[in-house]
Structure 1
């Protein structure tokens, strides 16, 4: 199955992964609006996560965000609200990017618990005979230049569709070595992972047990030849995880970054000193 070089060139995340010179840095979009999408995409990030789980982004807003991000040469990834098949289909049909040559879609599925759930997610993300995804949306291919034909999209999607699952439950951590070979990226949600293993992040403090769990997930990804990703709350933390060898790192969210910048500017205007708020 031949890849399409033009689709590869339009995929920023794919280029970063293939070059292997450092992690793909990204931003998290929680606020709706294509202007917000464009602001984030112009910051220099490699990808933007369109958060339909905890963000204030519905289906229509997702379909506006994805092309706005892709038009600026940045890879849009969609975090769906749940692992239901129809949600996976809608996210893929929006045209989010993937990570390998000519691979046209990317999703992040939260709160995975079992190998069987991961297998179901993968099946929902692939066309027959490998899965059960329905085919027919002309929107999915529009975010590549030149736009691939229906046939090109169909021929390439199954082979390298980017499927990412979040490791953030005790069950998924215990099965992470079996889950890793099934997907492209293991993406850690530190908040939920800490909560679910009995070591929540309190006042920014991460227990050694949570650090060990995070290291286990990265090791599982590396052993399986896959990528390890993690959610961070600021640049300092992102830099730390980059040094640990993570391949895909979220640096900040639009919501928290907007509040922090405004608070800092206001403190300066009043002649005071801005005190950085806790990142967790």
Structure 2
């Protein structure tokens, strides 16, 4: 008996103008994202007003608890930007437009991600609360009908083992994007960060990740350090995230203080 084919974020016919990241990806418009690690709703609003298309609320490495996560999702979405959560626990109950799951190493782990992020019959995610529907501008029944095919499910490939298994990971039905985590990937492959960018083992691994995504018809994304790198890399990727808030703040102060002291 053939497996049931479900619509995904890549194939959905659902139209929702609030889903800026999904809409830009489907239109091939190469959206730009950044990461936020600080737990302030005002901070989230300030970043959302920069012109970025999506913000990854970093619940893996950031200092963000459940209250801050909920507040940030609502604030970002209210300003027409897509909130994505680098995931922890019940993150989708906030109404996020996507989830990014770090350190995926095997296809079985990718399938577990799908089970947790999809409502039945595709997965085991609970109905949760009224909050997701509010963020998406829908009624709860409308959200329940569309969530599985509009929430973007991203898995990060950032280890040597993940690269080795990336073909199988990318082939998992329902995974929408493979996302390159370059710093952890460099640490895993080279033993240091950042990569110089010309190491054959590092560039070869990235080529393999991109090829796997393309072969399976999945979107491919990565993180970069600045706008110049984003401009350079965008032709190879469907989505690029430009560093994050903590690094941006530090870089600005370092540069300005150097000028002031010169």
What TM-score does the superposition give when structure 1 sets the normalisation length? 0.84
Please, which runs of 5 or more residues in structure 1 have no aligned partner?
82-86, 98-105, 273-280
Per the TM alignment, residue 209 of structure 1 is displaced from its structure 2 partner at its CA by 1.0
- RMSD (Å) for aligned C-alpha atoms: 1.7
Per the TM alignment, residue 228 of structure 1 is displaced from its structure 2 partner at its CA by 0.6
Of 46, 69, 72, 1:65 maps to 72
In structure 2, the partner of 1:103 is none
CA contact (8 A) 1:235 1:252 kept: no
Tell me if 1:214 matches 2:206.
yes
In structure 2, the partner of 1:161 is 151
The verdict on how the C-alpha distance between 1:264 and 1:195 changes in structure 2, with shifts beyond 3 A counting, is: closer
In structure 2, distance between residues paired with 1:161 and 1:265: 40
Which structure 2 residues correspond to residues 164-179 of structure 1 after superposition, within 5 A? 164-179=154-169
CA contact (8 A) 1:235 1:251 kept: yes
Per the TM alignment, residue 49 of structure 1 is displaced from its structure 2 partner at its CA by 0.3
In structure 2, distance between residues paired with 1:96 and 1:237: 27
In structure 1, distance between residues paired with 2:86 and 2:103: 11
Partner of 1:143: helix, strand, or coil?
Answer: helix
In structure 2, the partner of 1:238 is 230
What TM-score does the superposition give when structure 2 sets the normalisation length? 0.89
Please, which runs of 5 or more residues in structure 2 have no aligned partner?
1-6
CA contact (8 A) 2:187 2:193 kept: no
The verdict on how the C-alpha distance between 1:167 and 1:65 changes in structure 2, with shifts beyond 3 A counting, is: same
Question: What's the CA shift string for 1:86-133, capped at 9, x where partnerless?
Answer: x1xx11110111xxxxxxxx1111111111111111011111222111
In structure 2, distance between residues paired with 1:201 and 1:250: 21
In structure 1, the partner of 2:259 is 268
In structure 2, distance between residues paired with 1:169 and 1:252: 19
Question: What's the CA shift string for 1:249-268, capped at 9, x where partnerless?
Answer: 11121101111112222233
CA contact (8 A) 2:224 2:242 kept: yes
In structure 1, the partner of 2:3 is none
Which stretch has the larger CA shift, 46-55 or 202-211?
202-211
